[in-house]
Amino acid sequence: MAIHPAYAQVTALFFAILILVIGNGLLQTLLPLSADEFGFSGLSVGLIGSAYYVGMLGGCVACPRMVARAGHIRAFAAFAAITAVTALVHPIVVDPIAWMAIRVVGGFCFAGLFATGESWLHDKAENVVRGRVMAFYTMAFFGMVPIGSLIGGVVADRLGAPMTVRLSGVACLLAGLWFATRLPAIRALARPVYVKRGIIAAPEEEVNRKEP
């Protein structure tokens, strides 16, 4: 049975988002545990948790303009890479103030990932399947958050919270790298959709514009 072209176009994006959401679920669960192991005060742990949402709020305001300038593909890859780096920095720089700053950046980037991913799905999905595509996305998103927390608890019980935080950063980095390898195929699939909707010009029109 043939897969509808709209589903084929968003497969790579789906998997990249799922891995990132699992990694984020790990971080949300394990950072407070790691902070406690490192001897952070209760106030510091609370501020670190709040800093993530401060960054997300700022990302909701600023990221749409950044996506409009850079495009979905570049923006998603950049936000995913920065998110992975912020996760990997936590065990290296063990300081409450540094962790607050890192979580602000992480929240900002995740807001960018959500904005980029969801707007990209809307752009690439045709009207006939858009509702189903967004339903799959919503189920996958909310389904992976608790799975990430569960995986984090199991792994942390055996390897410790700091090591599991490192692994979550590696997972985010691998998602970004895997997504980067899919960029040529994604561009090839996305271009006809953008041309059809008038977002970009067809190749013949671009040639005609360049001719005097």
160-198 confidence digits (pLDDT tens) = 777 777 777 777 677 667 766 766 666 665 566 555 655
Q: What residues make up the domain containing 91? A: 11-181
The count of C-alpha atoms lying within 13 angstroms of the C-alpha of 195, restricted to the half-sphere facing its C-beta, is 12
Q: How many Å apart are CA 110 and CA 199, to the nearest integer?
A: 26
Q: Does 137 map to a domain? A: yes
Classify 125 as helix, strand or coil: coil
Q: How many Å apart are CA 32 and CA 15, to the nearest integer?
A: 27
Q: How many Å apart are CA 14 and CA 29, to the nearest integer?
A: 23
Q: How many Å apart are CA 130 and CA 122, to the nearest integer?
A: 7
pLDDT per residue as tens, the chain (212 positions): 445 555 555 676 777 777 777 777 778 878 887 888 888 998 999 999 999 999 999 998 898 888 878 877 788 878 888 888 888 888 788 899 999 999 999 999 989 888 887 877 777 666 777 777 778 778 877 777 777 778 777 877 887 777 777 777 777 677 667 766 766 666 665 566 555 655 555 555 444 444 44
Q: How many Å apart are CA 26 and CA 88, to the nearest integer?
A: 13
Q: What is the CA radius of gyration of the chain?
A: 19
Please state the pTM of the whole predicted model: 0.73
Whether 105 contacts 59, CB under 8 Å: no
Q: Does 211 map to a domain? A: no
Q: Does 212 map to a domain? A: no
Structural domain tally of the chain?
1
What pLDDT shows up at residue 207?
A: 42
Picking from 163, 147, 153, 30, the residue whose alpha carbon sits closest to that of residue 99 is 30
DSSP 152-184: HHHHHHHH-HHHHHHHHHHHHHHHHHHHHHTHH
Q: How many Å apart are CA 103 and CA 75, to the nearest integer?
A: 19
- 188 phi/psi in degrees, rounded to 5: -65, -35
Question: Residue 117 sits in a domain of what CATH number?
Answer: 1.20.1250.20
Which residue type sits at 40? F
Q: Does 209 map to a domain? A: no
Which token pair is 166?
């490192």
Q: Does 91 map to a domain? A: yes
Q: Which helix (H) or strand (E) holds 9?
A: helix 5-37
Whether 103 contacts 77, CB under 8 Å: no
Q: Does 135 map to a domain? A: yes
